[in-house]
Structure 1
Amino acid sequence: MGSTDSEKSLSLAGDTSVANGSHPIILWWTPFTGETGNLRTCGENTCYFTENQTYLSNPKTKVVAFYGSSFNHLNLPIPRQPWHEWALLHEESPKNNPSFCYSALISLFNYTGTWSRKSSFPLTLLSLPKLSDITDGKYFIPVAKKNLIRVQEGLSPIAYVQSSCNAPSERDLYVEELQKFIKIDSYGKCLNNKPLPQQLKDPADGMNNEDFFQLMAKYKFTIAFENAIGDDYITEKLWRPLILGSVPIYMGSLSFEDWLPHSNSAVSVRNFTSPESLADYLHSLNDDDIAYSRMLSHKLHGTVDNNDLIVAMESRSWSAGHDDDFQSENFVEAFECFLCSEIHRKQLEENAGYSTRRESSVDTSHYNCSAPLHPVTQKINFDSWWVEHWNHAGAEANIIGRLALRNLNYTSEEFHKIINRLVKSSCIEPRNGGRSQGTGHRPKQQQFGSQSSTPLASSETLGEKAAHIHGSL
Structure 2
Amino acid sequence: MSSSDPLILFYTTFFGKPVDIESIQGEGRWTTDKRRLSEAAAVVFHMPDFQEFGDARKYPGQYWVAWSMESRQNHPRAASPEVMRHFDMTMTHEARSDVWAPYLPKACAWRDMVARPIAAKTEQAPVALFQSAPFNHSGRVDFTAELSRHIKIDSYGRHFHNRAIGGPDLGRKTKIETIARHRFCLALENSIEPDYVTEKIYDAFEAGTVPVYLGAPNVSDFVPANSYVEAGAFPNTKALAGYLQHLVDTPLEYEAYFAWRSKPLPDTILERLPTLETPCFRRLTNLVRQRLQEQPSAPSGRPTIPFGRLTYVRTRLRRWKKKIPG
Match of 1:287 among 223, 237, 249: 249
Provide closer, same or farther for how the CA distance between residues 89 and 347 of structure 1 changes in structure 2, counting only shifts above 3 A. Answer: same
Match of 1:313 among 273, 276, 295: 273
* Contact 2:226–2:260 (Cα < 8 Å) also in 1: no
Shift of 1:335: 2.4
Identify the residue that residue 251 of structure 1 maps to in structure 2: 214
* TM-score, normalised relative to structure 1: 0.55
Q: Please, what is the CA RMSD of the aligned residues? A: 3.3
Provide closer, same or farther for how the CA distance between residues 284 and 113 of structure 1 changes in structure 2, counting only shifts above 3 A. Answer: same
Cα deviation digits, residues 367-395 of structure 1 (max 9, x gap): xxxxxxxxxxxxxxxxxxxxxxxxxxxxx
Question: Any residues of structure 2 matched to 1:105-184 within 5 Å, and which?
Answer: 105-126=83-104, 130-138=109-117, 140-141=118-119, 145-146=120-121, 149-150=122-123, 155-165=124-134, 167-184=136-153
Provide closer, same or farther for how the CA distance between residues 273 and 101 of structure 1 changes in structure 2, counting only shifts above 3 A. Answer: farther
Question: Any residues of structure 2 matched to 1:336-375 within 5 Å, and which?
Answer: 336-344=285-293, 346-347=294-295
Identify the residue that residue 218 of structure 1 maps to in structure 2: 181
Shift of 1:177: 0.3
Shift of 1:112: 0.9
Shift of 1:190: 1.9
Question: Any residues of structure 2 matched to 1:49-128 within 5 Å, and which?
Answer: 49-58=30-39, 61-75=40-54, 77-78=56-57, 80-94=58-72, 97-126=75-104
For the pair 1:191 / 2:160, whether they are aligned, the reply is yes
* TM-score, normalised relative to structure 2: 0.77
* Contact 1:165–1:189 (Cα < 8 Å) also in 2: no
Runs of at least 5 residues in structure 2 that lack an aligned partner in the other structure: 302-326
* Contact 1:130–1:313 (Cα < 8 Å) also in 2: no
Shift of 1:100: 0.5
Aligned to 2:255, what secondary structure does the other structure show?
Answer: helix
Provide closer, same or farther for how the CA distance between residues 126 and 88 of structure 1 changes in structure 2, counting only shifts above 3 A. Answer: farther
Shift of 1:127: 5.5
C-alpha separation in 2, matches of 1:41 and 1:194 = 41
Output the amino acid matched with 2:192.
I
C-alpha separation in 1, matches of 2:297 and 2:272 = 29
For the pair 1:268 / 2:246, whether they are aligned, the reply is no
Shift of 1:111: 0.8
Count residues in correspondence. Answer: 294
Provide closer, same or farther for how the CA distance between residues 185 and 109 of structure 1 changes in structure 2, counting only shifts above 3 A. Answer: same
* Contact 1:221–1:248 (Cα < 8 Å) also in 2: yes
* Contact 2:197–2:222 (Cα < 8 Å) also in 1: no
Shift of 1:135: 1.4
Identify the residue that residue 461 of structure 1 maps to in structure 2: none
Match of 2:12 among 30, 38, 44: 30
Provide closer, same or farther for how the CA distance between residues 306 and 92 of structure 1 changes in structure 2, counting only shifts above 3 A. Answer: same
C-alpha separation in 1, matches of 2:105 and 2:189 = 13
C-alpha separation in 2, matches of 1:288 and 1:266 = 16
C-alpha separation in 1, matches of 2:157 and 2:27 = 45
C-alpha separation in 1, matches of 2:297 and 2:234 = 52
Shift of 1:122: 0.9
Runs of at least 5 residues in structure 1 that lack an aligned partner in the other structure: 1-6, 15-21, 43-47, 319-329, 354-473
C-alpha separation in 2, matches of 1:272 and 1:107 = 41
C-alpha separation in 2, matches of 1:40 and 1:192 = 40
Cα deviation digits, residues 191-223 of structure 1 (max 9, x gap): 2233321313xxxx43x12x4423321211110
Shift of 1:304: 3.4
Provide closer, same or farther for how the CA distance between residues 213 and 29 of structure 1 changes in structure 2, counting only shifts above 3 A. Answer: closer
* Contact 1:127–1:235 (Cα < 8 Å) also in 2: no
C-alpha separation in 2, matches of 1:55 and 1:104 = 26
Identify the residue that residue 304 of structure 2 maps to in structure 1: none
C-alpha separation in 2, matches of 1:56 and 1:308 = 40
C-alpha separation in 2, matches of 1:66 and 1:338 = 16
* Contact 1:34–1:51 (Cα < 8 Å) also in 2: no
C-alpha separation in 2, matches of 1:169 and 1:106 = 24
Output the amino acid matched with 1:75.
G
Output the amino acid matched with 2:42.
V
Paired-residue identity, %: 24
